[in-house]
Amino acid sequence: MNTFDFSPLFRSAVGFDHLYSKLDNATRTAQSQPSYPPYNIELIDEDSYRITMALAGFEESDLNIETENNVLTITGQQKEQTESRQYLHQGIAARSFEHRFQLAEHVTVTGANLVHGLLNIELVREIPEAMKAHTISISTSADANKNKLKDASIKAA
């Protein structure tokens, strides 16, 4: 097991304390994260992701998906079995669960579907226009002189 000490970073960086706490929480929760139900996280393209969870025996009404404060929480409540069964081997888990995923900023859930026992949750990173890179045009000194002359002629008129 690896542990990381982020305290040296606090001495040389300002304003990243929330990032360090997220990294610290991620390393702690990764060790205690339940392995049930099994899941995959796929990168579909540069800004699209899919989480697929294997949920044999669950129906849509048994599941709840919600996001709050950049945390995606998926819970499943298995219904009580009304009939008694005698298993010789029970390899299919039939228990309730709660799974949390920390989402990066600007990542939103766009949809979810349950097909053949697989829950697919679609996520997209939508970067606001104000945060995207913009090209700034550079004017020459001749352009600046033209603008000054134009401004002077407007004031004179």
Mean pLDDT of 148-156: 62
Report the predicted TM-score, pTM, of the whole model to 2 decimal places.
0.66
Q: Phi and psi for 28 in degrees, rounded to 5?
A: -75, -45
Using CA of residue 13, residue 18, residue 24, residue 27, what is the dihedral sign? Answer: negative
**Mean per-residue pLDDT over the chain, rounded:** 81
- Residue 37 corresponds to which tokens in the numbers above? 């139900």
pLDDT at position 128: 82
At residue 30, does pLDDT exceed 60?
no
pLDDT at position 67: 94
Residues 37 and 39: their CA atoms lie apart, in Å, by: 6
pLDDT at position 87: 86
Strand 71-76's sheet: what is its strand order? Answer: 63-68, 71-76, 97-102
pLDDT at position 121: 97
